[in-house]
Structure 1
């Protein structure tokens, strides 16, 4: 039975960055899923090979027929010979790939390997969400350490698309959104309330809510206005899509509590039920649907993109001889 890693949502947009997905949303989700699967199989194969070598080495040690004293003499002789050989033979600048991989994987457990894989995959997602084959955007380093983004991408299944604070083009102005998640059957708009573990958010009158924390309270802008604005923009962007699209707002506080009742169009996801909410998403077995891709494409087309030609492409073109 093959060991599998759980799916990882597609990061199709960050802010106003260019991305592979906005170049061809019909192609890149399946391509990324295939590359992810192949990379995991290759990493696991290298890890298993390294651990087989470790097992053989340990077995050989058990059957070593040298006495302790003789072994010490032999070992010290081998060490001296290695030093002489190293002085006489030029060393390669890089360790041979096979030996390097063996040394890298031999001390890692399967769970360690998964963590390495997810970290590598996350960095690849950031690259795909900030560059295309011919353009690139300057990725803010903060995204590499964004725990919220990491969590959503890792926990949501790979039939989900994530737009992370995209800037949408409207008739009057460009508007920065919060988080948009496109599932096979509905669109979620997430507005986060970034409280601490002791924070409790309660609705107030007008434009403000109250955050109670450590026997203190402070005003915060009501997240409902952001949810309302996001819903309007998405509905306008998807107006020409055939069929109805379900849009659901999420009041999102993974580390805090929200004292607000869920309703048909707004759901509360806080530290009390976030695991249950995520598990429900994982039990969504549907493959990526055409309507889902159409919705993603339409939202990407209505989002702002700021990018410059990729430096490696510019350098390659400058090195190419031109006919006089």
Structure 2
């Protein structure tokens, strides 16, 4: 499960301590998965009487997964509210979460399909010369930063890469013009590189047009750019999903630099609001 370290201009727990929270999330996720799996195994072996009512309601809310695969999906779904909480508040500040994001299929796709060591910024807003600038999604991989334009266009069979400014959508052999995703991707990568340069961080930055549901027709890929359409997606996704690496110090250094330039819109949290870490699934 990729970690949501920044959501637009929301306050983020990761901004408060970018070196601590990524590893803390991984540790808590593993500990609570082990606890849930043990409870599920005991339930499957010994039946409902093996768990007291409080534990049963906490672990499964009355809906017992039948297979381990269902259990894993149940667990990932249960982690989403926790991810949104960490991505919309610190210990002292909070942003008002737009409920749209809880059902945003693109956001959920990135959070649930990639490894824990992939750190994700969803449409982050940076403050550049005191002006807010919205960028494409940023995936901070242990080996580099991907600026991603995710494209899922209705009534479109094929995307045809044109020049830097114009692409084409094709459906039933009828073409229409569209703005090239490279426009925003180049702006995003320039901002990322300038921030890394300011902190003297040497970390690769790459541009990706990701369109799993469309064919992408192109003659060549521009420098440091990759087109991932329907034909390229499975191989690319398998390589990303099966990538195994711990968090890297330079990766966290890059995260810290990027977060320091992001815009934050928040209010002070109520002093009485509970921030207990006792229950990871409900924190």
TM superposition score category, shorter chain reference: 0.7 to 0.9
Match of 2:96 in 1: 138
How far apart are the structure 2 equivalents of 1:107 and 1:166?
A: 35
1:282 aligns with 2:241: yes
Q: 1:245-271, CA deviations, whole angstroms, 9 ceiling, x for partnerless residues? A: 211100111211221233440001122
Number of aligned residues? 271
How far apart are the structure 1 equivalents of 2:56 and 2:228?
A: 47
Query: After the TM superposition, which of the residue ranges 139-148 and 20-29 deviates more from structure 2?
Result: 139-148
Q: Give the structure with higher Rg (CA).
A: 1
Report the aligned-residue RMSD. Answer: 2.4
Match of 2:34 in 1: 41
How far apart are the structure 2 equivalents of 1:245 and 1:156?
A: 20
TM-score (norm 1): 0.77
How far did residue 275 of structure 1 move? 2.4
Pair 1:54–1:243, CA change in 2 (3 A):
closer
1:302 aligns with 2:261: yes
Q: Of 54, 59, 75, which aligns to 1:97?
A: 54
Pair 1:188–1:195, CA change in 2 (3 A):
same
How far did residue 286 of structure 1 move? 2.5
How far apart are the structure 2 equivalents of 1:305 and 1:168?
A: 9
Pair 1:213–1:13, CA change in 2 (3 A):
same
TM-score (norm 2): 0.87
1:175 aligns with 2:168: no
How far apart are the structure 2 equivalents of 1:286 and 1:242?
A: 24
How far did residue 13 of structure 1 move? 0.2
Contact 2:136/2:149 (CA < 8 Å) preserved in 1?
A: yes
Q: Which runs of 5 or more structure 2 residues have no equivalent in the other structure? A: 275-283
Pair 1:222–1:172, CA change in 2 (3 A):
farther
How far did residue 56 of structure 1 move? 9.3
Secondary structure in 1 matching 2:18: coil
Q: Of 3, 7, 13, which aligns to 2:6?
A: 13
Q: Of 193, 209, 220, which aligns to 1:251?
A: 209
How far apart are the structure 2 equivalents of 1:301 and 1:102?
A: 39
